[in-house]
Chains A and B, each alone.
Chain A
Amino acid sequence: MPKIAFREALRQAMDEEMQRDENVLLMGEEVAQYNGAYKVSRGLWDKYGDKRVIDTPITEEGFTGIGIGAAMAGLRPIVEWMTFNFSIQALDQIINNAAKMRYMSGGQFSLPIVFRGPNGPAEWLSCQHSQAIASIYAHVPGLKVVSPCTPYDAKGLLKTAIRDDNPVIFMEAELLYGLEGEVPEDEYLIGFGEADIKRSGEDLTIISFGKVVHMALKAAKALEQDDIDAEVIDLRSIKPLDEDTIVKSVSKTGRCIVVDESWPFASVGSHVAWLVGNRCFDMLDAPVELVSSEDIPMPYEHTLELAAQPTQDKIFSAVEKVLYLN
C-alpha cells in the first residue's frame, strides 16, 4: 500500500469526487492559483479550471453563504476555510442557514456541502489562531462533524462527506498535514458514526479524536512499560457519534479517560464523559477523567502554549487516578 501524506489523501478524495461528479466544486481563500494555503488543493485548479476551483475574497461570511446557496441550488460545494478560527466569521451562515435549511423547508432543500480546513492549535499562533472549536459545531443540530487523524481516515471520510446530502463540518489539523500513512489505491469509503479502535487493550479506555489521538497512542505505548494495557478509541466522527463502540470498550475495561484538545467546559470531551458515566454507570470502577486544554485563551509563549494543551503527563496522571495508582 502506498504511503502518502495527510494533505495528499485529502487532495485525492477531492480529486476523485470531482472527477466522479461534475457538481462537486471547491471554493475558498487561495485554493485555486496558490494551490491552497496548506497545499491541500495542489493541482486541482490546473485540472478543473476556474469554474470548479474558485478563489474567493477574504470574506468568510460571504463565500460560506454563496456555498450554502449553491448547495441549495443543486451543486455540491466544498468550502475551505483557511482555518476554523476564520469560520467564526461565518457562524451565522453555518448555524442559521446551513444547519437549518433542510428542516425549515420541510425537506424541500438539501444541503450537500462540506466545510473543511484545519482546526485546533498549531504552534506560536497565540489565542485567536489556536482554537479547537469542534464543540461549537457539534452543539448545533443539523450539522455532521467529523475529525480524522490519519491519511486513511481522512480520505475515506472526506469522500463520504462530499457524497452526503447534509452539511458536514470536516476538521483537519495543521500539524497533521505532513503526516504520512498507508492509503489503498482502490476506492474506499468510511461511514459516519463509526469509531475506530486504534489500539486495543484491557485495562482502561482512552477516547479521543483528531490530532490528540496520536498523543493518546504515544501515552498508551509508554504505559506498556508499567504493564498497563490501554485501549485507544478514535471517534473519527463526532456527530453522529458511535456510542456502541464506546460503551462496549468501557464495559470491558471499567475505566475511561477522554482526551480532547479543546477547552473543558461544555466540550465534545465533557459530553462523551457524561455519556460514559450515564451509559456505563454500573461498569465503572472510577470516575471518568477528562484531559483537555486549560480553560484559558492560548498563550503565545511556547512553553505555556504547550502546557495549556493536553500533554502526555496529564494523560498519565489521569491514568493514575482511574487505576488508583497513588
Chain B
Amino acid sequence: MAQQIQMLALSPTMEKGVITKWLKKTGDKISEGEVICEVETDKATMEYECPEEGTLLKIVVEEGGEAAVGEVIAMVGEEGEDVSSQDKKPEQEPQAGSEEQPSEEEAKEDSEKPEKKENTGSEEGKQESPEPKKKTEQKKQKPKDENIKNKVKSTPLARKLAKQHGLELSSISGTGPAGRVVVRDVEQAIKKDSKPEKKEADPRALRETAGLQDEEVPVSSMRKAIAGRLSESKFSAPHYYLKVDVNTSELIVTREKLKLDSSKKISFNSFLIKLAAEAIKHHPVVNSSWAESKIVRHGSVDVGLAVAVKDGLITPVVRNCGSKGIMEIESELAGLIELAGNGGLKKEQYEGNTFTISNLGSYGIDEFTAIINPPASAILAVGRITDKPVIDAAGNITAGPMMSLTLSCDHRVIDGAAGAAFLSDLKRFIEEPISAFY
C-alpha cells in the first residue's frame, strides 16, 4: 500500500518548510534514505532523505510550496497504485503542537463554563466555540462531577468521605477557610443524617437541633439566588395585598369524594393549583409579567408551588394547569416535590412560573403575606384550615373550616379591582367547587 511521505522536522525548531526543489519526479524509483527534494527550513536549506522506498507516485506539495511538519508532501508505493484518495493529512498524527493547542484551550474553557454559567445565567450554547472539533465534542459530553460543577470548595478527603456516605457536598456547610468543606463537616453531616428524626410530614424536622452559637454561615448559591430574586421583586414591584377568608367545607367534601372514587389521595395544594388556574382563565391579567416596555400575557398557566428544602426554598412549576385535570396535576406535583427534596430539579422545572402559591398551613400559620416570585405578578399565601364561627343564611352561628388567603399583586400589572375580582372568583370556586365549571 502507498505510504504518505510527510514533512519532517529537519531542525529542532522547524515548524514548516518550503520545498525549493524536487530531485525526483513522479514515477521515479526511490530507495530508503535517498534524497528526494530540498527543503528550506527556518535555519538552512536541507536535503530531504526519503524514509520509505518504492516508486514516487505523487508529488503533493510542488516546488515552492510550503508544508508544515507532519503534512503530506508526497506518496510513495508500488508502481501503478492509485493514490488519489490517500494523500490527505493523517488525522491522528501527533504533529506540531499548534494542532493540539486549540482543543486544550477548549477543554479549559469547558471546565470553566459551569462557573460562568452560574454567574451570568447565560445559555450554554453561547459559549460553544464556533466549530467544535469531534474530539472536543466528546470531551464536552463527559458527565461532570456534580461537586465540581457546583464549585463546592472541599478537601479531597472530605469529598471521598461524603461520597462513601452518599452525601451531597452542596448540602453540607463548610467550616474551613472560605467555606471549604472539610472532614469534620462531613462527619457532622453523617451524624445528623443518621439521627432518626426524619418524619416527612412533621414540619419540625426542619428545625435546627443544635444549640445556639455565634457563627458565620457561608452563603450557598441557593441562598444567593433567593436573596437576589426576592429583594429585586420586593424592591421593584409595588406590592399590595388582598385578604379573604374562605370556607373550605365543600372543598373538603369534594376531596374526600374524589379520594373514595379514585382511591387516591389528592393533596390540598393540587386543588388550590387547579382552582386558581380556573380562576385565572377568567382573569388573564393575573397571569402576566411586567417587562418594562410591555406587559406579557402568558398563554399557559404555569403555577409554582413554594417548597421548603434543606437550607432554602425552591418553587417547582406545574405547567399549563388550565388544561390539565386535577389527577394529572397531582401526579406531576408529587414528582416535582420529590425531586426538589433531593436537589434534582432541573432549571426548566423551577423557572418561569406565571403564578405562585405558598402554603404555610401545615405550620399552623393563620395568615401571612408573601413576596411575589417573578416573572409572575401575583402570589397566593395560604394559611391553615381551622374551625371558626360562621354565620349561615339563617343567622345561626356554626363552626366552619375556615382558611385565610392573601394575594400579593404587582400593581404595575394588576390593579386592585382586577386582583380583587380574581380573588373573589377563587373564593367562590373553593367554597363551591362546582362553580368552577360554569
Task: Give A94-123 as 1s and 0s: 1 = Cβ < 8 Å from B's Cβ atoms.
Answer: 000000000000000000000000000000
| Chain B interface size range | 10 to 19
Q: Check B184 against A324 for contact (C-beta < 8 Å).
A: yes
Cα A285 to Cα B182 in complex, Å, equals 6
Task: Give B160-192 as 1s and 0s: 1 = Cβ < 8 Å from A's Cβ atoms.
Answer: 100000000000000111000011100000000
A230, chain B: closest CB distance, angstroms: 17
- Which residues on the B side are within 8 Å of A281 (C-beta)? 156
Task: Give A264-301 as 1s and 0s: 1 = Cβ < 8 Å from B's Cβ atoms.
Answer: 00000000000000000111111000000000000000
Interface size for A (C-beta < 8 A) is 8
Q: Which of B156, B175, B176, B184 contacts A284, CB < 8 Å?
A: B156
CB of A67 closer than 8 Å to a CB of B? no
Q: Which of B157, B175, B176, B182 contacts A282, CB < 8 Å?
A: B157
Q: Check B157 against A324 for contact (C-beta < 8 Å).
A: no
Q: Check B160 against A282 for contact (C-beta < 8 Å).
A: yes
Chain A residues with CB under 8 Å of chain B are: 254, 281-286, 324
B161, chain A: closest CB distance, angstroms: 9
CB of B155 closer than 8 Å to a CB of A? yes
Q: Check B158 against A285 for contact (C-beta < 8 Å).
A: yes
Q: Check B184 against A283 for contact (C-beta < 8 Å).
A: no
Cα A284 to Cα B155 in complex, Å, equals 7
A285-B157, A285-B183, A324-B176 are known contacts; what are 10 more A-B pairs with Cβ within 8 Å? A254-B157, A254-B183, A282-B157, A283-B156, A283-B157, A283-B160, A285-B158, A286-B155, A286-B176, A324-B177
B381, chain A: closest CB distance, angstroms: 42
Cα A281 to Cα B175 in complex, Å, equals 20
Chain B residues 127 to 172 lying within 8 A of chain A, measured CB to CB, are 155-158, 160
Q: Check B156 against A324 for contact (C-beta < 8 Å).
A: no
Cα A143 to Cα B195 in complex, Å, equals 58
B162, chain A: closest CB distance, angstroms: 12
Interface of chain B, main secondary structure: helix
- Which residues on the A side are within 8 Å of B160 (C-beta)? 282-283
- Which residues on the A side are within 8 Å of B156 (C-beta)? 281-285
Nearest neighbor of B160 in chain A, beta-carbon distance: A282
Nearest neighbor of A277 in chain B, beta-carbon distance: B156
Q: What are 23 A-B contacts defined by CB distance under 8 Å?
A: A254-B183, A281-B156, A282-B156, A282-B160, A283-B156, A283-B157, A283-B160, A284-B155, A284-B156, A284-B157, A285-B155, A285-B156, A285-B157, A285-B158, A285-B183, A286-B155, A286-B176, A286-B182, A324-B175, A324-B176, A324-B177, A324-B182, A324-B184
Nearest neighbor of B155 in chain A, beta-carbon distance: A285
Cα A283 to Cα B156 in complex, Å, equals 6
The listed residue with most B CB atoms (<10 A of its CB), out of A254, A285, A286, is A285
Nearest neighbor of A281 in chain B, beta-carbon distance: B156
- Which residues on the B side are within 8 Å of A324 (C-beta)? 175-177, 182, 184
Cα A254 to Cα B175 in complex, Å, equals 17
- Which residues on the B side are within 8 Å of A282 (C-beta)? 156-157, 160
Cα A283 to Cα B164 in complex, Å, equals 13
Nearest neighbor of A283 in chain B, beta-carbon distance: B157
Cα A173 to Cα B78 in complex, Å, equals 75
- Which residues on the B side are within 8 Å of A286 (C-beta)? 155, 176, 182
Cα A156 to Cα B176 in complex, Å, equals 44
Cα A302 to Cα B175 in complex, Å, equals 39
**The 8 nearest A-B residue pairs measured at CB:** A285-B157, A285-B183, A285-B155, A282-B156, A254-B157, A324-B176, A285-B182, A281-B156
Cα A324 to Cα B160 in complex, Å, equals 18
A13, chain B: closest CB distance, angstroms: 42
- Which residues on the A side are within 8 Å of B182 (C-beta)? 285-286, 324
A299, chain B: closest CB distance, angstroms: 32
Cα A285 to Cα B159 in complex, Å, equals 9
Cα A286 to Cα B153 in complex, Å, equals 12
Nearest neighbor of B185 in chain A, beta-carbon distance: A324
Nearest neighbor of B154 in chain A, beta-carbon distance: A285
Chain B residues 294 to 327 lying within 8 A of chain A, measured CB to CB, are none
B157, chain A: closest CB distance, angstroms: 4
A126, chain B: closest CB distance, angstroms: 38
Nearest neighbor of B181 in chain A, beta-carbon distance: A285
Nearest neighbor of B157 in chain A, beta-carbon distance: A285
- Which residues on the A side are within 8 Å of B177 (C-beta)? 324
Nearest neighbor of B180 in chain A, beta-carbon distance: A324
- Which residues on the A side are within 8 Å of B157 (C-beta)? 254, 282-285
B11, chain A: closest CB distance, angstroms: 29
B318, chain A: closest CB distance, angstroms: 43
Cα A182 to Cα B177 in complex, Å, equals 45
- Which residues on the B side are within 8 Å of A283 (C-beta)? 156-157, 160
Cα A285 to Cα B177 in complex, Å, equals 12
B145, chain A: closest CB distance, angstroms: 13
A326, chain B: closest CB distance, angstroms: 9
Cα A281 to Cα B183 in complex, Å, equals 14
A286, chain B: closest CB distance, angstroms: 6
Cα A285 to Cα B174 in complex, Å, equals 12
B158, chain A: closest CB distance, angstroms: 6
Chain B residues 177 to 225 lying within 8 A of chain A, measured CB to CB, are 177, 182-184
- Which residues on the A side are within 8 Å of B155 (C-beta)? 284-286
The listed residue with most A CB atoms (<10 A of its CB), out of B155, B158, B177, is B155
B190, chain A: closest CB distance, angstroms: 15
Cα A324 to Cα B175 in complex, Å, equals 8
Nearest neighbor of B161 in chain A, beta-carbon distance: A285
Cα A281 to Cα B156 in complex, Å, equals 7
- Which residues on the A side are within 8 Å of B158 (C-beta)? 285
Nearest neighbor of A326 in chain B, beta-carbon distance: B177
B183, chain A: closest CB distance, angstroms: 4
Nearest neighbor of B186 in chain A, beta-carbon distance: A285
Nearest neighbor of B175 in chain A, beta-carbon distance: A324
A228, chain B: closest CB distance, angstroms: 14
B374, chain A: closest CB distance, angstroms: 39
Cα A223 to Cα B175 in complex, Å, equals 22
Cα A281 to Cα B159 in complex, Å, equals 11
- Which residues on the A side are within 8 Å of B184 (C-beta)? 324
Nearest neighbor of A286 in chain B, beta-carbon distance: B155
A203, chain B: closest CB distance, angstroms: 11
Cα A11 to Cα B183 in complex, Å, equals 49
- Which residues on the B side are within 8 Å of A284 (C-beta)? 155-157
Cα A286 to Cα B156 in complex, Å, equals 8
A251, chain B: closest CB distance, angstroms: 10
A88, chain B: closest CB distance, angstroms: 35
